Structures are given as C-alpha cells and as structure tokens.
Amino acid sequence: MQNELYHQMSALEDRHWWFAARRQIVSQAITRIARPPAAARILDAGCGTGGNLAMLGRFGRVTGVEPDDTALELARGRNTGAEIVKGMLPDALPFDDATFDLAVLLDVLEHVDDDRGALRRLAALLKPGGHLVLTVPAFRFLWSGHDESHQHRRRYRRPELSEKIASAGLRVRCISYFNTWLFPLIAAARAVKRQSANRRSSDLFLPPPPVNSLLRLLMASERHAIGRISLPAGVSLIACAAKPPDDNP
C-alpha cells in the first residue's frame, strides 16, 4: 500500500463510516460466534495503523503484526496496550504454533500473494478450538482504482473463500457478504469511476458528518444478520472459522 494511504487511514479510521461499521460487524461476529475465553490471546494479523486494536482489546490480550514500518509506528502510537511486532504472512510471523485463541485478518488476505499459505499459517497459530475471523473485498466486477491504489491482488466470491478456508483445515461456521444495503450504489459508482479521469484513485475520504453517520448506521445494521442469515451479495465478505478441538479437520 502507498505510504501516504497509511497516514490517511490513520487519520480517518476512527471516524470513517466504513471502518466504524466494519468494527461493529466484526465485534458481533466475535461475540456471537467465536466467543473467545476470558483473557484470550488475540492476533490481529496485518493490523495496519491499529484502528481495530482497541475493539479487539475488549476480548483479551492483543498482539498486532504488521510488515510495513510506517503502519507499524502509527499503530504503536495509539497506546492501546497491544503488543505490536513486525512480521509478514505467511512465513515471517514470530510466533509458536497453537499460541492464539482468536486470529483476525481484516481486509488483509487480498494483499497476500499466497493466500492459501497465509490461511494455513494462521490455522497453525490457533489453539485447538480457536477461531479465525476474516474480511475481504468481494466480486471481481467491483475492481476499481481503489483496489489498485491499495495494492490488492484479488477480490473474492463466497464459494472461493469458503473453499480456501476449508483447505487450511478450518471449519467454516459462518460466511456472508456484507455492506449489502449500499452494494447497488457502490457498484454503480465504481462503474462510473472506471470511465472517469481519476479512475485510479482511492475511495478513502471522509464524507460530511450527516452522510458519514447515515452510511455507518446503514452498514452497521447488517451486524444483526451475522451468524443468523447469509446475505446474498455485498461489497465485502466476512467469515468465521474454527480449528477443530482435536486438531484434525
């Protein structure tokens, strides 16, 4: 990801509707499905500038890992109490197997060349019975300059993501599209943007406060569906998967 985007993200992710709503959706998935034990060890794999560390800290002791030096320092500057270390998926993570009760991978997998290897490594880092919660961008036809500026490798469909998680030895407990209410508007906006002069630009900007609040409320309302129904389409995907207690799929 371009360095200037990390600074933009750090400045916006506490307030921006998309980041705020995603935190609510992920928190619901952890509460309703993953249910980590008290004093859980939690891994934020690819923690970026640290916008999710405080939310994850409500569930246990958090370790964030991040390969980019700029993002690493921005995350450490948040003073959340989380341990922040340098590392990269799939093979450069400084942890022993079976260390974590919960791993989260929030819009990271699409950046990794070897996504299957990354999922296998995270599965190995989980304790038996531990959970992985992850989010990724959905649908190749939504590809835009935002994906290019953020150095995405791919966008996913539900069957592909489910198969890759299962191939890592994890049992998919919940998988659903989200950002569904806004899906038609975003799809239309990206189709228009692909024809515009600024088609390679990021979508990372803060709307006026009333619009920002409305968008956050709309997207965050989808948290009530998590673990109950699988939404049929959306701009993103969320999945929650478990490592079998006996360490066998």
Q: Please determine, for residue 198, whether its predicted confidence score (pLDDT) is greater than 80.
A: no
- 10-60 pLDDT tens trace: 999 999 999 999 999 999 999 999 999 999 999 999 999 999 999 999 999
Rounded to 5 degrees, φ, ψ at 98 are 55, 45
Q: Which of 170, 161, 153, 188 is nearest to 103 (CA)?
A: 170
- For residue 198, give every residue at least 6 positions away whose Cβ sits within 8 Å of its Cβ, in sequence order, or none: 145
Q: Which of 14, 12, 21 is nearest to 180 (CA)?
A: 21
What is the residue type of 99?
T
As a whole number of angstroms, the distance between CA 57 and CA 102 comes to 12
User: What domains are defined for the chain?
Assistant: 3-242 (3.40.50.150)
DSSP H helices, 126-203, are 145-149, 158-167, 183-193
Q: What is the pTM of this model?
A: 0.94
